[in-house]
Amino acid sequence: MKILIIEDDSRVAELIQRGLEEQGFETTLAYDGLSGKKLAGQNNYDLVITDIILPKMDGIDLCKELKQNQPDLPIIMLTALGTTDDKVEGFDAGADDYLVKPFEMRELLARIRALLKRFNNTVATGNILAYADIEMNLHTKIVKRGGREIHLTPKEFNFLKYLLQNPERVLSRVEIAEKVWDTHFDTGTNFIDVYVNYLRKKIETGFDQKLIHTKSGMGFILKAE
Mean pLDDT within 102-106: 86
| In contact, 96 and 115? CB cutoff 8 Å | yes
Q: List the one residue out of 68, 72, 52 whose CA is nearest residue 60.
A: 52
Cis, peptide link before residue 71, omega less than 30° from 0: no
Residue 184 in this model has a pLDDT that exceeds 80: no
User: Which fold, 128-222?
Assistant: Arc Repressor Mutant, subunit A (1.10.10)
Q: List the one residue out of 200, 205, 194 whose CA is nearest residue 84.
A: 194
| In contact, 101 and 79? CB cutoff 8 Å | yes
User: Which fold, 2-120?
Assistant: Rossmann fold (3.40.50)
Q: Supply the pTM of this predicted model.
A: 0.57
Instruction: Give the model confidence (pLDDT) of 139-150 as tens digits.
Output: 788 899 988 999
Q: Mapping DSSP to helix (H, G, I), strand (E, B) and coil, where does residue 178 land?
A: helix
Ranges of each domain in the chain: 2-120, 128-222
Residue 205 in this model has a pLDDT that exceeds 80: yes
The angle subtended at Cα 179 by Cα 142 and Cα 183, nearest 5°, is 120
